[in-house]
Amino acid sequence: MLQPSKVDWTDPECPVARSADLVGDKWTLLIIRDSLDGKRRFSEFEKSLGVAKNILSDRLRLLVERGVLTRIPNDRGTRSEYELTGAGRDLFTLILSLRQWGERNAFATGEKHSILVTKGTGQPPAQLQPFATDGKELDPEDTLLVKVGQPLP
């Protein structure tokens, strides 16, 4: 479980900054992506990512410390597997949002890329869009950041 006092926060009162401090590293996000795709073993992550063993080991350790992954001994007790915790599964929306942003902004028109589809329909998930509690679509101009100590509008 995460121990907030052990993390050197970039901006302690900002949820975006804290989230970036916890999972904002490229390798960390790709490990989470692969975990969501069902990878569980060190060797599976290493093969998929092509990352150096020391970096992979460090990121897996941090994800366990931060409560995103849990480490489970395999049947023989010789090696561990990594499984997403509830907090790790909560990152699905973030990974999907990054994927959809990348599809719109990181590829040239017609450039091939992987796609994510739902198992039941074979169709891509609907585009993520934030909504207000009244059901209205939100744009950045529709929101206001209220910092700690400021009164609500």
pLDDT recorded at residue 5: 64
Q: Could you name the CATH architecture of 4-89?
A: Orthogonal Bundle (1.10)
* pLDDT tens string 47-69: 999 999 999 999 999 999 999 99
- CA–CA separation, 29 vs 98, rounded Å? 10
- Please, are residues 71 and 82 in contact by the beta-carbon 8 Å criterion? yes
* pLDDT tens string 81-135: 999 999 999 999 999 999 999 999 999 999 999 999 999 999 999 999 999 999 9
Phi/psi of residue 141, nearest 5 degrees: -70, -15
Q: How many CA within 13 A on the CB side of residue 36?
A: 20
The pTM of the whole model exceeds 0.85 = yes
User: 9: Cβ–Cβ under 8 A, 6 or more apart, which residues?
Assistant: 17, 18, 21
Q: What is the mean pLDDT of residues 73-77?
A: 82
Residue 70: strand, helix, or coil: strand
* pLDDT tens string 14-23: 999 999 999 9
Position of tokens 């585009």? 127
pLDDT recorded at residue 4: 61
- CA–CA separation, 26 vs 42, rounded Å? 17
